[in-house]
A and B are shown apart, each in its own frame.
Chain A
Amino acid sequence: MRISTAWLKDYLKLDIPADELAEKIERTAVEVDGVIRPDEGQKKVVVGHILTCDPHPDSDHLHVCSVDVGEDEPLQIVCGAPNVAAGQNVIVALPNSWIGNHTKIKKSKMRGVKSAGMICALDELGFDEKLVPKEVADGIFILPDDATPGDPVFGYLGMDDEIIDMSVTPNRGDMLSMNGTAHELAAIYDQTPTMPTVDLHEDESDDANDQLEVRVDADEHDVPMYKMRLIKNVTIKPSPLWLQIRIWNAGMRPINNVVDATNYVLMQYGQPLHAFDYDKLTNGHVNVRLAKAGEHLTTLDGEDRELLPTDLLICSDDTPICLAGTMGGLDTEVTAATTDIALEGAVFDAVKIRKTAHNHDLHSEASMRYERGIDHGMTETALNAAAAMIAELSGGTVANGVCVGRDEDVQPVTVQITLSKINHVLGTELSLDTVADIFKRLDFPTTLTGETYTVTVPSRRWDIHIPADLIEEVARLYGYDNLPATLPTGQPTIGKLNETQQIIRDSRKLMESAGLTQAISYSLTTEAKAKAFALHPSDVTKLDFPMSSERTTLRLSLVSGLLDDLAYNNARKEHNVALYEEGRVFYSQPEQVRPKEIEHIAGAITGSMVKKSWGVAEQPVDFYQIKGIVAGYLKSLALEAPVSYVATTAHPEMHPGRTANIFVGDQLVGFVGEIHPNTAKAYKVRETYVFELDLTALIALPKARQQYQPISKFPSITRDVAMLIDDTVTNADVVALINKKGGAHLQSVELFDVYNGSHVPSGKKSLAYTLTYRDQNATLVDDDVTAAFDKVLSALTEELGAEIR
């Protein structure tokens, strides 16, 4: 809503700079986008009187004009506008003037003829094309005959106005009008506003209800009020300049005297009005109803629209003529030939109008106001004001009476609130008088009983109906700056992370310590990527109506997004990348409306984690490095059950020979490995190693009980074994067997060498382990250890076919 400060002066004595006013509005009422000064940056633009206007000798459309600009000598100016003529008062940009859009005008020659300046159209003074009246859109603007040559032009065009551009929140629809804004400012500055009065003369010999029959078929909820007036014998013409100025400074285009009058009253009262060409109504019959499937209407913008059953319609003899509260129909538009006007003033349901505006993508000044609500108490007043104004501007007469399709008994709302409640909520110690004064400034009639205010809220503030609404009024007018700043008191509470949150936070730190940087990727991706790397099979969760094909489906894994991140980095020549992400994946649940949200933690590493430096070569990441990261992380979680890694070919996106499922006890909690070369190609990444862990599961798993183990005072004895063994036998097989046969004193088994190079026969590998024996309570005897060790050796030979070396 654009508020002209010049117009505001009709209401209030405001000797306040516009910027200060804007700041006050912003601090007390609604957000302000800025102050518009139409003449800003423009200089030396004056009224000119065209003395002579002759065709240019070398052009078929240019004219050479002699223009009186209030100086001793007239200026010679070449003009290309089709409507230029001698005798006109026009806008002249003098030589070395500045006009709209930071343009400087200099003396020039046009086709050999000197031109000392420019005769301007409105858009050349920075007018938005949408605000320029259509009749002057293609030519220069003609100023009134009484304009004085040489005077700055800005005052004649309302360009010296300062316009406050407010961004009105949905609750403050009352401020989408001059009246509402004036009431607000009156409260802020403690003034009594001068509100507009209506001076309506009805032609008692001409009864509107004889000629216009209005019927509302829609229910009271959808159409609480519907009234019309009839104005006869109008002459359609452009509005006087003062009105055009108010219209364009309000951000609308002047059309003609009738439409401009309805828009003027719309801006004044916030009440949308619509003027129909009465002669186009069939039999003078008007009815209001919901649209039926399949009906069509061609609106004012020339669009043929298929109507929806939620659209409220104005009809004439049941033929649609207007989309209620949104846009009129082309057939009943007021044209130059119109003589009689049927003028509508109505209230429509906000939700219905919102739907219509949304469905037809038709957002108008009218629909915007109906959506936020309007003052039901002012509808008839506004209708009368517009009728009177049309009659005055067009020479018409207002027929006697209002044609009422539906009327509503509008009552003010009464709200009670106590002073202590106000102070309790605001944390203030306001006095009875302070609060009473605020209600008085708001012009809300109030009675005080004890400390209870009974506040009568006028219909113009339909946003107020509960005590909390009154508290807001008090707070904002008292001033938020004046509120004290304290912290909540009361019973103390403990603020700490719960176990899940603590483990998640610790997990992030552990990953970072291991050299992985945290990524936050998109949860929404393509269906294919959402399904990729899923730990368990699941249906996906898809958006009903996605914005783009790239973001349709909620992810089932984090690795998929991390690979996208790696690809982004690779494309920018960053080839050493180690990222992890902690976040949700979404498992669809057959019987539930919502998916199950599970915390995962995942990593992806490509290139080298070690920075190449002097004396340090890059070390391309491999399976065992990422496995080491995962193993170190899982160790820190202190899970009770043992962690095991089992080779798997179950993940089609992963390398079939370099991927392990990770189990805690017998519960699958994740996987680790190299991505399949085909996956790498599809995601446009290089050789990459990844892991994905179900963090929710890890958090839920039992943790090892922490208990001190006495440190043995007795020395340990170690034995090394090296063996040649079939390639198919895994380290896990060997370790399991050693542990099984190791005897009571075997403490640990450490792998210290793996070799499968040229010195071992094909199909074989060499493994070497250190076995450590220790007795907690006594010094071990060498012979006992040897006996236990021999048992291990023979088991390895017999059960795994190892050749001990």
Chain B
Amino acid sequence: MSMDKPPPPLMALIGGPQGAGLETSAQVLTVAYATLGYRVLASREYHSNIIGRHSYILLGVDPARVPRGHRYPVDVASFMDAESVFTHYKDVDRGSIVFYDSDVDNVSLERIVSMETETKRRLRRELEELGVEPTVVGVTKYMKSMGVEVVGFSYRGLLSSLRREYGIGYAEARRYISMVVAASVAKLTGLSLEELEEGLRYRFRSRPALVERNMAVARRVYSHLGNVAQIALPEPQEPPDHYMVMTGNEAVAIGKAVAGVGLQAYYPITPAQDESFYMEAHEDQTGIVVFQAEDELAAIAVATGAALTGARAATATSGPGFDLMIEGVGWACINEAPVAVTLYQRGGPSTGLPTRGSQEDLLDAAFAGHGECPRIVVASWSHEEALTDAVEAQNLAEEYQIPVIHLLDKFLANSVATLPPPMTTSFQIRRGSIEPRPGSDYRRFALPGPVSPRAFIGDAVMWYTGDEHDEYGHITEEPETRIAMVKKRFAKLDEAARNIPEEGVRLHLYPEDADPSGLDMLIHSWGTAARVTAEAVDMLRRRGLRAALVRVHYFSPYPSRLLSSIAAEAHQAGARLVNVEHNYTAQAAKIAAMKSGVVFDTHVLKYTGRPIYIDELVEALMAIHEKGLKEVHLGHGA
């Protein structure tokens, strides 16, 4: 394997206990880089815990575009505590720089109470095999022996001087450790103190005293690191005037506001809740009613009820909540009610890995529910697309009068990216067929359809029922009407398929100009896995392997024709058909086989709840290419 380093040019990792301010560190850094014009992707890995368990944030910084994923080894790692040193000692390599608390040198692995027993056992075994003493100092020596530059700093010394200087208690002083971490990464990547301060001023907008104290901490760290070599970052290319620095949750929230959503109903669940929370924080400016329901059964019902009155309505949840919503999705289906469900996938089944990501809910989103229920299913792969798809989900729901499932995952939900502000002029609100003057004989489900002109409760009289119904919405079990109504509902998907192009909308080929008949490898993927795959494709091509990505964006209506023609061409030319997904059962490949007859029989799968990293994916694809492996399961990431 050649030694080209995958992008982004800078990867930083910061680690520490949950609740110790790691997110503050990441936000300060992200904004500092963004202010300089850099593109950043920062993602957080955390346990289902509020305080004490290990969490870490990966920051990718790129001068030209938002990183499409993260990679190991990282260039800079800064640790708050001993547990981070043990957890991430293998995430760095020759040329990396590690910053840590030299006061924990003598802490042994056994003393880390917050670490899971299994993790401890694994690390003990690993260190034993390497012949490394299971203490922080042992591990740092090992890293040095591998060519890593390791810089210790006495956190205790800093804390006691802070306590003296500001007359604050230990607990309050500890909060400044998040600044130690941020400042170390900033300094080691060449940010000046003034540049770092931009991030702090953003974070502590209304509290200049906090900015000042944190800057004092930063100065201490900077002077300590005075002589350590820095990692050089190329100058940013053509940055916009502004970035919006947002998580996937926030991108969807902003998309919903732009789409004119009037009501969002939700029940708190990770990793969906921050979307609704963010919407609620801006309720007074947007006017959107954010309603916290008593459960997800109610959340979808409240949203659907609102939709019947002419409001654009939405809900957001993750797998367990979506399960509870399914009966409501069915009701929306049979009642042709436009309701959009944002579904953030996490690891299952049951509570599974509640704070980790997955692509395990595709089949659930596409097929769940009793009876036969047409729906539109859209899966976003980036923050930018999460926003535009949130707008489009509302348009499609109203145009076709059908439930829309907008699929995302925890990786998107909780990661932060720098985006240009959304060009709202490029969006359009499409409400579909609306009856301008509904009379007293208004028929909500007028045949033949598939889309009957819609009137709203409050403007006319109409009936809705979960039973099969006639044109007025009254219950019927008449076979002829049943046939007409079932066909009417399914014809929506045919019409959507006619109107929404396959090429470049429902299906994306990457690179766009790739010639399927000239490929060594055609890789099928979707969502965030596809985004990492696009990066891997670039790397494979640099290595001379003719690879291309075919990404499914709409799982319903499915891009059957285009996918089968691309796959057939590639297959005929002798290309290997590979599938990359964040699950164990290759769900998207199953849908491809079912809906387009294309069999992707070689798989790269990951189901640890951690994202697919660019380096491990490239390695897996190379192994498939060189050794003809049929299935590779990835596992990197603490």
Q: Are A and B genuine complex partners?
A: no
Residues of B within 8 A of A (CB): none
